[in-house]
Amino acid sequence: MEGINILTIKVPLKDANKVKTILIREENLDGNYKTLKERLFVYFPIKTSFKTKYVITNKELETLEHLPHSLKDALKTILTKDEMEKVKTAYDCIGDIAILEIDRELRKKEKVIANTLLRVRRDIKTVVRKEGSHEGTFRVQKMKYLAGENKKETIHKENNIRLMLDIEKVYFSPRLSLERMRIAELVNNSKSRKSKNKKSVNKEDILVMFSGCAPYCCVIAKNAKNKVNSIIGIEINPEGHKYGLENIKLNKLDNVCNINLINGDVKKEIPKLAKTNATFDRILMPLPKHAEDFLPEALAVSKKGTIIHFYDFLHEEKFNEAVEKIKKACEKAKKNCKILEIVKCGQHSPRTFRICVDFRVE
Ligand SMILES: C[S@@+](CC[C@H](N)C(=O)[O-])C[C@H]1O[C@@H](n2cnc3c(N)ncnc32)[C@H](O)[C@@H]1O
């Protein structure tokens, strides 16, 4: 044992709790050292000697490791001032995996930074670094393993559900949890559904385009369960679809409502649904890049009263462009629409936001 000889009070085990309470009350317990238990006695580290029926003696005790409160605090003792100015100490967590962004100039220190994070956050088991941005049709992102357990699959918890996913094989953003709950709370909400009878509880049929590993499907099914009749999710990435199916099982949602996940292209799958005259009460379009290309498909399975959630990335001075895209597509489909709300649900870059335009087909 590597310890330091310090002042202690030797207390029989049976009196340990009582004495500890007194030491804390008197502010005489030395929090820099670990308490030692030896057979029938406990040695409490104390700051000063005092008159007592117990034995005061010197004892070799281990020092207590004081963990810094944040990655930033911990790095202050490891990086130079110059490096501290460049390091990004904010990070995302998906399950027990932390995802860092590290500038090129600091890459030689990336392992040190990752190991420091593991020391600060005991709940994190793996640290990775983003390599590049979301790419291709699947919108997936490469991650470089840095420290801890070498794994990319985890279980993430949000909004009363658990989501299993591989952070490299399927798109998932923990930052959208509030947005997912916002939509779940809108389900069968009389204000957005324009229901004349506020008591009407017609359950909704919901279509989630671009469903990924099914976070929207699961959050809605779990949190609006009495208000949903059916949910269909469509996802083109086979890995994303596979995790989607897993997540329905993981959250025991099969029996909550009728959930059907389809592995396919929205462009091909929706015409098949339209052929069966399927229509939906609510349609989600969480593909902010190019969602407008899929508005004709969404409108093809809409009916009077359908609410569509259309996502886009736009500069704060250009939110109206999303409204224009919607109006143009509705005109082409010979449908009327009413814009209900424009919601900022994330920041993409300075002054550019992920927005959701909620509109109703009239
Ligand atoms: C931005 S991600 C959103 C995923 C999920 N909804 C979420 O919030 O985590 C967009 C998803 O759309 C899928 N996707 C892209 N084009 C598609 C298409 N034509 N048909 C079906 N899915 C598509 C991608 O594979 C990706 O998983």
Ranges 1-10, 216-225, 246-255, 275-284: which has the least confidence: 1-10
Check whether residue 226 and residue 298 sit in a common domain. Answer: yes
Asked whether residue 187 falls in the same domain as residue 95, the answer is no
Please indicate, yes or no, if residue 157 is contained in any of the structural domains.
Answer: no
Total count of domains within the chain: 3
Co-location of 189 and 285 in the same domain: yes
Q: What is the per-residue pLDDT for 69?
A: 81
Tell me what pLDDT residue 300 has: 98
The answer to whether 206 touches 279, Cβ cutoff 8 Å, is no
Gap from CA of 200 to ligand 1 centroid (Å): 33
Give the start-end residues of each E strand in the chain: 4-12, 36-38, 41-45, 55-61, 92-94, 97-100, 126-135, 140-148, 153-158, 161-166, 204-209, 228-235, 258-263, 282-285, 307-315, 337-349, 352-361
Indicate if ligand 1 lies below 6 Å from the C-beta of 211.
Answer: yes
**Percentage of residues of the chain with pLDDT beyond 90:** 82
Ligand 1 atom nearest the C-alpha of 288 is 1
Residue 15 in domain: yes
Q: Are residues 255 and 128 in the same domain?
A: no
For residue 242, is pLDDT > 90?
Answer: yes
Residue nearest to atom 1 of ligand 1 (CA): 287
Q: Would you tell me how many other CB atoms lie within 10 Å of the CB of residue 61?
A: 22
- Is residue 158, in this structure, part of any structural domain at all? no
- Residue 137 Cβ < 6 Å to ligand 1: yes
How many angstroms separate the CA atoms of 336 and 85, rounded? 52
Give domain status of residue 66, yes or no: no
For residues 120-126, average pLDDT: 93
Domain that holds residue 183: 172-361
Over residues 12-28, the mean pLDDT reads: 93
Query: Which DSSP state fits 256?
Result: T
Residues 6+ apart with CB under 8 A from 17: none
pLDDT confidence of residue 33: 87
- Asked if residue 102 and residue 55 are part of one domain, the reply reads no
Which CATH number do you get for residue 232?
Answer: 3.40.50.150
Q: Quick: pLDDT tens for 163-218.
A: 999 999 999 999 999 999 999 999 987 555 555 454 446 899 999 999 999 999 99
Quote the pLDDT of residue 198: 47
Distance 251 CA to ligand 1 centre (A): 21
Q: Which of 210, 247, 311, 348 to mutate to test the pocket of ligand 1 (most atoms within 8 A of CB)?
A: 210
Q: How far is the CA of 93 from the centre of ligand 1 (A)?
A: 21
CATH number at residue 53: 3.30.70.2580
User: Residue 289 and residue 313: Cα distance in Å, rounded?
Assistant: 7
Residue that has been written with the tokens 């208000």 in this structure:
227
- Mean pLDDT of all residues belonging to the chain: 93
Phi, psi of 322 (to 5 degrees): -65, -40
pLDDT level of residue 2 (50, 70, 90 thresholds): low
Confidence class for position 348, pLDDT limits 50, 70, 90: confident
User: Quick one: how far is CA 272 from the chain centroid?
Assistant: 33
**Atom 6 (ligand 1) nearest CA:** 211
pTM of the model: 0.82
163 found inside a domain: no
Per-residue pLDDT reduced to its tens digit, 252-289: 998 888 999 999 999 999 999 999 999 999 999 999 88
* pLDDT tens sequence across 34-54: 999 999 999 999 999 999 999
| Confidence (pLDDT) at 28 | 92
In this predicted structure, which of 17-26, 39-48, 67-76, 308-317 has the lowest mean pLDDT? 67-76
Same domain, yes or no, for 34 and 76? Answer: no
> 201 and 247: one domain?
yes
Q: State how far the alpha carbon of 215 is from the alpha carbons of 96, 154, 210, 262, 284, in Å.
A: 17, 14, 11, 15, 12
Q: Would residue 166 count as lying in a domain? A: no
